Amino acid sequence: MARRAVEQELSRERIMDAARHLFITKGYRAISMRSIGQHLGYSHGSLYYHFKEKAELFYAIVVQDFNHVDLLFRQVMSSPGIEGLTKVEQLMLEFIKFGLEHPHQYEIMFMLRDEEILSYCRAEQSKCFERFSSIVIKYMTEEDHPLARHTSVPLSMFLGLHGFISFYIQDHLAFEDVQPAAIAHVKMLSHSI
């Protein structure tokens, strides 16, 4: 009965949201299960109903965030086209939008550099890049682009997107604030290949 009451009040989602915020603002090493519990107003023991340890909690956050990006990629691919943008440009624009609208998630996914947790991120980053790359190559192949088989093209695009997001994420700007620059950047990346 007590466990059921705790589970109803303290969801995995709520724990993950609080932990994500604390990992970004204070750093992974500075945060403990106890400090997450205190932040939420619960004992750290109540967190263990959902997560065995801090690393498991961190990995759950990483997987959730990368699954969100994968869903966005699939939505772009299945949605009708936007006039004036290729599917690849739409994909890149959506990635920028995600990064700027979800800065804490983006930082967890791509910008934390703690050696203890880097392996959790690297595996998911690789999956994300592979998905992005396969979409870019698919559309370049359909358009019979001469560089369609060059794996360096999607990597260059991805790094260009990351640079854009990293630059603007520091200023806490909304996507709408930089949308014209984002479109111009995406067009430049697309046309430079």
Residue the block writes with tokens 């340890």: 53
With a cut of 70, say whether residue 103 has pLDDT above it. Answer: yes
DSSP secondary structure string for all residues of 24-74: HHH-TTT--HHHHHHHHTS-HHHHTTT-SSHHHHHHHHHHHHHHHHHHHHH
pLDDT for 151 equals: 64
The pTM is what? Answer: 0.83
Residue 47 CA to residue 45 CA, distance in Å, equals 5
Q: Rounded to whole angstroms, how far apart are CA atoms 27 and 4?
A: 31
Residue 178, phi then psi, degrees to nearest 5: -120, 10
Given the structure tokens 């800065």, which residue do they identify? Answer: 103
CB 16 within 8 A of CB 39: no
Identify the residue whose tokens are 């060059």: 150
Residue 190 pLDDT greater than 80, yes or no: yes
Q: Which of 96, 124, 90 is nearest to 110 (CA)?
A: 124
Q: What's the pLDDT score for residue 146?
A: 59
Question: What are 150-175's pLDDT values in tens digits?
Answer: 667 888 899 999 999 999 998 888 99
Q: What is the structure's pLDDT at 7?
A: 46
The pLDDT assigned to 95 comes to 96
For 168, the 3-state DSSP assignment is helix
Return mean pLDDT, the chain.
86
Mean pLDDT of 7-28: 85
The pair of three-digit structure tokens given for residue 34, joined into one six-digit string: 């106890």
Of 19-33, 131-145, 164-178, 179-193, give the lowest mean pLDDT range. Answer: 131-145
